Structures are given as C-alpha cells and as structure tokens.
Amino acid sequence: RLRAFSRLQVILQHLKMFKQTDSTAEVLLEKKGGAGIITLNRPKALNALNLPMIQQIYPQIKTWEQDPETFLIIIKGTGGKAFCAGGDIRAITEAGKVGDKLTQDFFRGEYRLNNAIGTCKKPYVALIDGITMGGGVGVSVHGHFRVATEKTVFAMPETAIGLFPDVGGGYFLPRLSGKIGYFLALTGCRLKGRDVLRVGIATHFVESEKLPALEKDLIALKSPSKEKIADLLNSYHKKCTIDQEKEFALGEHLEKINSLFSANSMEEIVKKLKQDGSPFAVKQLETINKMSPTSLKLTLRQLREGASMSLQEVLQMEYRLSQACMKGHDFYEGVRAVLIDKDQSPKWKPATIEEVSDEFVDNCFKPLGNDDLKL
C-alpha cells in the first residue's frame, strides 16, 4: 500500500514537472478531441510573436492540415489582457542595428505563417480576446473565423513606428467597406469590442467569459464541417447581448472617412483634411502629422496596390517593404521614441511627406531577386 502511494507521488511529481516545463513554453501546441489548439503564452509580453514561436506554429499548422483526425484549429492567448499585441519589435530593432539576419528571418517566417493561415484547408478559429494588433492581426484575420469580445482592442499602429501595416494588411485592409481600411492603416485608429465586428475584422462577437465554454463546445464537435462550426459560433454570437446598444464609434464619420481617404496621394489626403476643417478632420490631421511621412506614403501605395492582388502577392510585396524599412532610418527612430525612450517625439527623416520622393517609394517596392519571399 505504501509502495503504491510512493509510486503515485513519483507520477504526480512527473506530471508536475511536465506541467511546469510546458506552461513556461512561449507557445503551447496541443490536440484536444478533433481540435488542434495553439496557445500564445507570453503574457508578460502581451503574447507578442517572436521567431521561435513562429517556427513552432508554422509546421504544426501544416501537420494538422494533413491529419485526418484534426477537424479544426483554434488559436488563443493567455493572461487575460491580450490575444497578441504584435511582433517582437524590440528584438528586430536590436538585430537591425547590428545587421543580424533576424531582420530577414523574422519577416519571412511571419509572412509564411500568415499565408499558411490564409490558405489553411481546415477551419481556423481565432479567439481574439484582448489586445490584437499588428502580428496578432496577422495570425487571426486571414483565418475563417475571428471571435471578438468586449475586451478586444484592434489596431494596426505601424505608421507610428516607421513601419507599415504588414502581415497581409495590404490584402485585408483595402477590402473592408469604403475607405475604412485606409483610415485605420494611416491613423492607427483603435477599435474596441463590437466595433471590431462592425468593420468586418471579426466574424463573431461573444462575451469574454463565455470563451472557455465556446472552446469546450468546439472541441466536442464530432468531425465538424465548416458549416457546423459556423452554426455553433452563430449560436453563441446571437445569445450575446453585451454592448449591443453601443453606437458604432465611427458610424457618424463614415461618410467623411470615405471622401477624405479616397485621395490618390498622401498630399491630397492632407489637403482634403485641412480643407474639411471639421473637428473629426482636424483630429485625424493631428494624428497623421505625428506619423512617419515615409511610412504614410509606403502604406497608401501598399493598400492601393494590394486591393487587386492575391494574399501571396501582397505578402511578397510586404516582404520587400519590410526589408526597405530595415535599411532605413524611421523604423529605428520610431521604436526608440515609442517603445524604448518613450519620449513620443520621433525625429523623422525626411520630416515631411513632400520630401518623400516617388522615386524613393518606387525603390522600396522593387523585387529583391533571389532574396524575394517565396511562398
């Protein structure tokens, strides 16, 4: 009897160890029932994606896609604050300063993962509870289903750090209704809760505390089709009344957004905002004036071109842009001002949109030959 007890203790000790090492992993990959589950597990870093995480998730998605016993893939974050607040920008900055090839490997790996999600044959369900920005949008928005909650905060804030809304932003942003995607991309505007659903970033809206039950029900589905999964998500979505009476934050401004952000150049957009002079236009102008002029010009062209491209073509274009940004000035200056020194006063070079030449912009979009992204 004593022997059985000590054996039990050994087993428990083993389980404890396994759980400890497991729970410290930056990404947890597990199979429950017919579901493959990806859990982003860097709560202190708001689940920001780094290269090792990307390198674990990508092959796992490919494996599950081929596995006849896996019927759907679920991705979520830990910690209650964020689904995924972006990519590991600090690591990329450090690498870029010393010419380390992480600046190529990271973007290449991340965009390949975005493409794997966008082309995944198995239903892919992202539970975007909490902060969902940049790289977090990339691992959710290209999948079949995106479930937002009252805690979801969406943004593509890249123009503020000398980058551009990448991870396929050139694909999904211009496809949102009207010019809302252009507005979100250039201003970095944050959307919360139901508004993430209203603009079409999310497909469903469910109360945050109902997510564990929803996940359980998804796992319990027997060999589910995409339709069965949609039915289950719809049933949760219909029952959710939280924030139903809240007005759409951008509702009253939609007409203005569509007319002001429909111009063909940044100079023209700025001119339109100045001429409009309404409180809304003045506010957007103030925001845009803080952004990297280079980023603004790259972003506008990225979205205009991406509007008629496939996801693969967009990611290839964005890889070229990422490498141009890594060689430039504004990305490092933006990260310094926003994330490192936090003085919020970047010194952009060039300092005005007029000084960013068309020739410079053209060069950023040029093919990279053997170094191009291959998907």
Residue 281 burial by CB count (10 A; 0-12/13-18/19+): exposed, middle or buried?
middle
Q: Is residue 177, in this structure, part of any structural domain at all? A: yes
- Indicate the pairing of strand 191-192 with strand 153-155: antiparallel
Residues with catalytic annotation?
87, 135, 158, 166
Q: Is residue 18, in this structure, part of any structural domain at all? A: no
Q: Is residue 173, in this structure, part of any structural domain at all? A: yes
Q: What is the mean pLDDT of the chain?
A: 95
The answer to whether 292 and 268 have CB atoms below 8 angstroms apart is: no
> Which residue ranges in the chain fall short of pLDDT 50?
17-21
CA–CA separation, 68 and 50 (whole Å): 30
Residue 24: per-residue pLDDT = 84
Token output for 27: 């990404």
Report, in angstroms and rounded to the nearest whole number, the Rg of the chain calculated over CA atoms: 22
pLDDT one-digit tens code per residue, 231-257? 999 999 999 999 999 999 999 999 999
Residue 4: per-residue pLDDT = 63
**Domain limits for position 321:** 24-243+252-371
Q: Is residue 348, in this structure, part of any structural domain at all? A: yes
Q: Is residue 151, in this structure, part of any structural domain at all? A: yes
Over 319-356, what HEC string results? Answer: HHHHHHHHHCCHHHHHHHHHHHCCCCCCCCCCCCHHHC
Q: Is residue 347, in this structure, part of any structural domain at all? A: yes
pLDDT one-digit tens code per residue, 88-133? 999 999 999 999 999 999 999 999 999 999 999 999 999 999 999 9
pTM: 0.93
Residue 20: per-residue pLDDT = 45
Question: Helix 102-118 vs helix 89-97: angle between axes, to the nearest 10 degrees?
Answer: 140
Q: Is residue 48, in this structure, part of any structural domain at all? A: yes
Domain containing 150 — which CATH number?
A: 3.90.226.10
Q: Is residue 189, in this structure, part of any structural domain at all? A: yes
Residue 55: per-residue pLDDT = 97
- 3-class state of residue 182 by DSSP: helix
CA–CA separation, 312 and 320 (whole Å): 13
Report the number of distinct structural domains present in the chain: 1
Q: What are phi and psi of 21, to 5 degrees?
A: -60, -40
The answer to whether 87 and 37 have CB atoms below 8 angstroms apart is: no
The answer to whether 215 and 187 have CB atoms below 8 angstroms apart is: no
